[in-house]
Amino acid sequence: MRTTRTVPARPVLLTALTLTTAGSLLLTPPIAAAEPGPPVHREAALDQHAARTPASAAQRALEPTGTTASGAIADDSRGYPRRQVLTPDPENPADKSIKLGLTPYHAIAPKLNALQALGDRVSVEVAGRSAGGHRLYLVTVTAPETARQARAQSRMRELIENAPALAAKSPEIKKTYKTPVFFNSNIHGNEWEGTDASLKLIERLATAGDARTRDLLAHSRLYFNITANPDGRIAGTRANAGGFDMNRDFVTASQPEVRAMRQIMTAKQPAVMLDLHGYVNGTLIEPTTPPHGENYEYDLFLKNTYANALGMEAAVNGLGYTPGKDGVEPVQIPFRDQEEGWDDWPPVFTPQYAAFHGTVAAHTIEIPMQVNNTAYDTLPVTELRRRSAINVDIAGATLRATLDFVRSRRASLLADQIEVFRRGAAGAAQVPVSSATVPGVPGIGPEDVYTTAFPRAYVIPAAGTAAARLVDHLLANDIRVTRAAHAFRLGGRSYAKGSYVVDMHQPKRGLANALLADGRDISDKVSVMYDISGWSLGRLWGATVETLPGVPYGVLRPVRAAAPVAYVAPRGDLRLRLDDPNEIAALNSLLRKGVEARLAADGSAIVPGSARRRAADAARAYDVAFRSTKLTGTTPVHRTRVAAAVTPGELFALREMNFEVTPVSTAVLNAGFDWSSVDALFVSAGLDHDDLNAAARTALDAFLDNHGLVGRGATGAALNSAAGLLAAKPVEGNGDANGVVRVRNSRSALMTGAPDHGFVYAPVWFTDLGPGVRVEQSYATGNPLVSGHWRPSEDGSGGPADAAGQAAVVSGPGAVLFGTEPLFRDHPKGEFAQVGRALFAMARASGSDEESG
């Protein structure tokens, strides 16, 4: 279930360090890194360097898909079946599935081995590994194919995306192309039953001899991601081992499981997909309420999604479960049955993301009977198993109904997928939904009409690590990017050689625009949003992104990956800017190795030339540049170990920046904590000064006498007040507000290089500032909200007008307080460095012993 609200890091084309005859150091491509970055860097590099080359449509249409970097799911040079014997996992009696009578994770590999042995229709591949190291299994069910037939399927799939006008006229595609269908299960680990329903369906399909099954498998490929979250399945948690809700991660793809799902969608190009969740009674089947994502071809999406929803509804209700007898309510379809509250606005959810890869019928399914959370701990085992059995039955009904839908509508589904890509490639206008454009769907009104004006192109000047990261992220999402071989002038402006251009006449323009555009203020459209409503990577990732009125033909070349940024000046002391999380990570790696560094007045780090070789290691690992400088720096910067009471997303971001982090909480401090092991404290969640026992409070106060606090949001501000650090009154805005906001930054070292946009989620600002408190960042005047949803609270307060011009980030002796969300879910990467610099500052707050020594 979604639940209502109450990085990848830039991959690096690594280079080798060589010594010229003149004695200067050069970075030359490519060999393995001397110092690998955190795991997220390596994972991202595998996926992003596996992105398909954006060559011409004709060329791409003739080329089979290659293997991924992990050799897993994109190889269509082989036929089907593709059997492999999976080694079993050790039996785990603590697996939370067992209590429910469901399949524990350790039983899945043996089950899949048995299913492959049933015949020639079932193939199993390992699509990747989870954050906790568990295998992710992709099962394909289809009629057998020779290698030649598989290559033909790949060629046709490429033609559909890259030459859709030709594909629409192809007799071969109409006759022989197999419709791809994707079933995703268990992305929330404690919503289990989709896995078991899929295994049951696979078993039936493996051996069924009826004509309908034979026809289905002759004309379809069915892909099953058996458990998208094995970590959570085992532990009984919604999140994976990294603490992430992965059904919120598709914009940034910070988690390995999400990158695996992304690769499935880009490599297999499903026309139809289901994402199986729980628990909403009665069973909830999308399509959704407004607002609808403005970058979709929503007329095609709604037409197919609503039709399939009706078929699934009939199948579920046809099982005969009733409220009185079984506790099962009738199916609900939000588009038809609700006014608002279950929207498809952000592409952070799996089905909404899939729509941008040509999926014209994509659904979240919420099966009905709750067995997780308090129910899991309080209900008798017999009742839990009764409910789970019902859920498996209902999930199975949605799967079977979808297969009937695919079989009966194969031709129109493929035609609509082709049309999605044709509109993008041709730059055609979107078609607003209406009773005329989407016949057969009742209740369409003006509240359902969402379209956008796509720019002709975007340009990303090649100006460092942030731009390179963004370009590689676009490529990993199967968005075509080109690079200018020469400087060009367009629309009265000049752009340098090496600038990246995203031509919006491309098949997946919707996804490109969803990632790069500012977005939209939809505060007046609905009363509250289900989840985030603003996420622009063009504004939040630290790179410059501008629109172009045209495309500079003749100077652009397609790219596979962004050009490497890594550089070390051949002589002199070295200056490392600290505007980017990779730069913070690089500095932390040097500090861990004992390299001495100093901070300059502009917030950059000065590294002595004697550490050039180590700087080169860091430059390669984190794709950053060390420039020559005559600055000496003013303040020593030391290795910073952080005690953090934070959200999982913030913990992930801190570690991505290579900080040494020890998670803490009220309970941890009350149990006794060794403050000598850390240098700074970051608090945003889970730490309440009033709930500390006397000893813990005394120890915390003593630490803050000589070190500093970085606080975020209401919790961080409350700790600041309780500890008596900064005289600043926090004001909480509407807790349902979120989005991209305009900000104004100070010129201090803390905010040097900070973007002029930030992100808020339950925004906070500061008033009644005392002596010595500095405003580092303020909300812009007027309406600071650029995109998202931010209304005043019911009493009329807490809206963007109240926040306008107010302090968003403040600093002073002993503390830095953030009212924005600079580390939110790996989204606002351009803001990460603000927190990094604040932690460096607080590690030396109040003249620590380490600094004075």
Q: What is the 3-state secondary structure (H, E, C) of 604-635?
A: CEEECHHHHHHHHHHHHHHCCEEEEECCCCCE
Global confidence as pTM: 0.91
What is the token pair recorded at 718?
Answer: 């409350």
DSSP state of 145: B
* pLDDT tens column, 692-710: 999 999 999 999 999 999 9
In angstroms, what CA-CA distances link 582 with 537, 588, 621, 748? 16, 10, 9, 21
Yes or no: say if 786 and 521 are a contact pair by the CB < 8 Å rule.
yes
Mean pLDDT to the nearest integer, 176-203: 98
- CB-count burial class (<10 Å; 0-12, 13-18, 19+) for 853: exposed
Q: Which sign does the torsion angle of CA 327, 328, 330, 335 carry?
A: positive
Q: Which residue has the tokens 């997928």?
A: 417
Pairing of strands 573-576, 729-732: unpaired
* Gap between the Cα atoms of 806 and 161, Å rounded: 48
| pLDDT at position 488 | 96
Mean pLDDT to the nearest integer, 166-176: 97
| pLDDT at position 36 | 32
Mean pLDDT to the nearest integer, 817-832: 96
| pLDDT at position 463 | 86
In angstroms, what CA-CA distances link 513 with 63, 133, 516? 27, 33, 5
Residue 49 has pLDDT above 80, yes or no: no
| pLDDT at position 20 | 32
Q: Select the more confidently predicted residue: 617 or 51.
A: 617
For residue 597, the SS3 value is: strand
Query: Which positions ≥6 away from 165 have C-beta within 8 Å?
Result: 422, 425, 426
CA 792 remoteness from chain centre: 29
Q: Which residue has the tokens 């808020």?
A: 760
Name the pLDDT band for 25 (thresholds 50, 70, 90). very low
| pLDDT at position 1 | 74
For residue 833, the SS3 value is: helix
* pLDDT tens column, 637-682: 989 999 999 999 999 999 999 999 999 999 999 999 999 999 999 9
In angstroms, what CA-CA distances link 783 with 86, 340, 778, 791, 828? 57, 25, 13, 11, 20
Yes or no: say if 86 and 134 are a contact pair by the CB < 8 Å rule.
no
* Gap between the Cα atoms of 127 and 431, Å rounded: 36
For residue 105, the SS3 value is: helix
Name the pLDDT band for 4 (thresholds 50, 70, 90). very low
* pLDDT tens column, 398-436: 999 999 999 999 999 999 999 999 999 999 999 999 999
What is the token pair recorded at 324?
Answer: 């009185």
Q: Which residue has the tokens 């859709």?
A: 164
Query: Which positions ≥6 away from 446 have C-beta within 8 Å?
Result: none
Q: Among the options 257, 294, 366, 831, which is catalytic?
A: 366
| pLDDT at position 388 | 98
In angstroms, what CA-CA distances link 318 with 286, 331, 371, 397? 18, 11, 23, 9
| pLDDT at position 69 | 35
Name the pLDDT band for 633 (thresholds 50, 70, 90). confident
| pLDDT at position 845 | 60
| pLDDT at position 73 | 59
Q: Which residue has the tokens 């977005």?
A: 519
Exposed e or buried b per residue across 352-364, where buried means at least 16 C-beta atoms within 10 angstroms of its C-beta: bbbbbbbbbbbbb
Q: Select the more confidently predicted residue: 192 or 3.
A: 192
Mean pLDDT taken over the chain: 91
Name the pLDDT band for 3 (thresholds 50, 70, 90). low
Catalytic annotation present for 91: no
- For residue 363, list its beta bridge partners: 274
Pairing of strands 785-789, 738-745: antiparallel
Name the pLDDT band for 627 (thresholds 50, 70, 90). very high
Query: Which positions ≥6 away from 221 have C-beta within 8 Å?
Result: 140, 141, 142, 153, 178, 179, 180, 181, 268
What is the token pair recorded at 357?
Answer: 């890869």
- What domains does the chain contain, in order, with CATH numbers? 16-29+569-637 (3.30.70), 73-426 (3.40.630.10), 457-558 (no CATH), 641-852 (3.40.50.880)
* Percent of the chain residues topping a pLDDT of 70: 90
Yes or no: say if 846 and 815 are a contact pair by the CB < 8 Å rule.
no
For residue 470, the SS3 value is: helix
* Gap between the Cα atoms of 563 and 496, Å rounded: 14
Query: 609: number of CA atoms within 13 Å, CB side?
Result: 13
What is the token pair recorded at 760?
Answer: 């808020």
* pLDDT tens column, 740-763: 999 999 999 999 889 999 999 999
Diameter of the chain by CA atoms?
86
Yes or no: say if 739 and 787 are a contact pair by the CB < 8 Å rule.
yes
* pLDDT tens column, 720-742: 999 999 999 999 999 999 999 99
Residue 632 has pLDDT above 80, yes or no: yes
Mean pLDDT to the nearest integer, 497-517: 98
Q: Which sign does the torsion angle of CA 690, 691, 697, 699 carry?
A: negative
Q: Select the more confidently predicted residue: 851 or 86.
A: 86
Q: Which residue has the tokens 């295994």?
A: 199
Mean pLDDT to the nearest integer, 382-409: 98
Three-state SS sequence of 305-351? HHHHHHHHHHHHHCCCCCHHHHCCCCCECHHHHCCCCCEECCCCCHH
Residue 53 has pLDDT above 80, yes or no: no
C-beta contacts of 653-656 below 8 A and 24+ residues apart: 653/7, 653/581, 653/823, 653/826, 653/832, 653/835, 654/682, 654/823, 654/835, 655/38, 656/7, 656/9, 656/38, 656/40, 656/581, 656/585, 656/826, 656/832
Residue type, 698: T
| pLDDT at position 475 | 98
